[in-house]
Structure 1
Amino acid sequence: MGKKNPPVNEGALRRAIADILSKKPEPEATSGSGTVEPPSDSDAEVGSNVSIIKPIRISITSQTPKGGQTTDPSSSVLPGDIRPFLKAGPRKSRGGGRARGSCQVLTDTPMKKKTDEKAVGRINKKNQTASKVKKPAKWYEKNCVRAGSEAESKHPSTYHETTENQIEGMEIQSGEFVLVMEDEKRGKKFYSVGEVNKVGESEVEARYFTKVAPFQKYVAIKASYQFEKWQVAKKLPHPEPTGQTERQAGQFIFLIDMSVYNVL
């Protein structure tokens, strides 16, 4: 829909037309004069302060050389035809505007239930991915088993796992290094290396060592853990540092074949 034309001041228009009609044309030149059609009788006042005013039509007449006048009905002009052009509208912004946001439904509606379910699903998915990262990789377990089988075939190990009777009679002292059985899955046993700090009646506190894969090197952990005595599978000799540099001094190696065990 187009914009509405601005209102016209009828009083000013009538005064302008009266000024044009009051001027007399020169006899030699051909000029035009306008006649104003009087308003019809149908214009009546509506109420006390409102009146209906119809647009006034201006008829332009031209003089002939002999002094006669002719009226051209096709050249009539309405006040709306001589109104000024409309002003240009406001400039449209070219930017994308405000970014589209998302609202939250706080009422008890089916939509709110769906949004809550999606949020819970995202949290569960993150927890699942985090748990997968913490678990040991399958390739690591396969490499440990493969390395153990190859070592047994080439160099048969003289070390055997201790029995329960040997574990009961084993004397564990602080400062010694032991091989601790952590878990058993599908017939495979996984071990950890620890340095004993305290020995109790049934529990042992030790500082663990982590393995630097794929080498048989171990690095100490600051934190200490407790485990039961029956989890001790073997005593280990004191390790030696791999070198004299600061980095090598923090890495230790045991002078026995540790590839037989699946050490974490």
Structure 2
Amino acid sequence: MGCYIIYYLIHPLLNRAVKGLEQTDFKKMVIILFALYSVLGCVQQEYYYTNLVGFICIHYFVMYYKKYGINAGTNTREILSTGNIKRDVIAIVLSVAAILIWICVLNFVGQYITVLSDKGLFLCTFMNPLIVVISLAALDIAVHTKPHEIKWVNAFTKNSLLIYLLHGSYYWLTYGKYTLHAVLNSCGIPALGRMLIISAIYMIATPLLSAIYNKITDKRFNRISSLLAEKIMK
């Protein structure tokens, strides 16, 4: 959360930093950032990598896409051709499948190779090239597809920050997750099974808890924030 706030504060400066770049220079910069911090950074974060650096890289990936990836002279809401939709969907499906297969293989091999026994999520960072591909492909579909409201999607995305905060809670990551692993292990469930169960819990429990939290507190917090805003403006 702190990383996102810092990024939010500096993003106008990031835009200004590349304002005068030609497309070829901007493209070279994006390729270098992708190679260093997405491809190589997943394996070994050698070049002063932090989550903020990752946010900055993604900012420039999206900025390049917005500036040069969308067809010039067309409405950004123009419906994609069937071929482009298929391309993006195939990219998303193949990338998700590759990530899931990688995790399953790594967890299976880790049972027999000691050096990999604690590497069950090796390469699984938000800067993973496959995750970047998924994000850009989804963005490409969203930007070009005719807009229409889907209530359950809006309801889910409204809770996305809370889902992330629950998933990334310090106490859960430091204590809760390992306690649950130990309990499941004591029941004789193998590593792959434990991973699938915990993934299912993430998918079910975090959206549910987020929805309950919003239902209870949303209106109260809105009133408080409105009162504070009025006080500040006065």
Question: Which structure has more helix as a fraction of its residues?
Answer: 2
Question: Which structure has more strand as a fraction of its residues?
Answer: 1
Which of these two proteins has the greater Rg computed from alpha carbons? 1
Give me the TM-score of the superposition, normalised by structure 1.
0.17
Give me the TM-score of the superposition, normalised by structure 2.
0.19
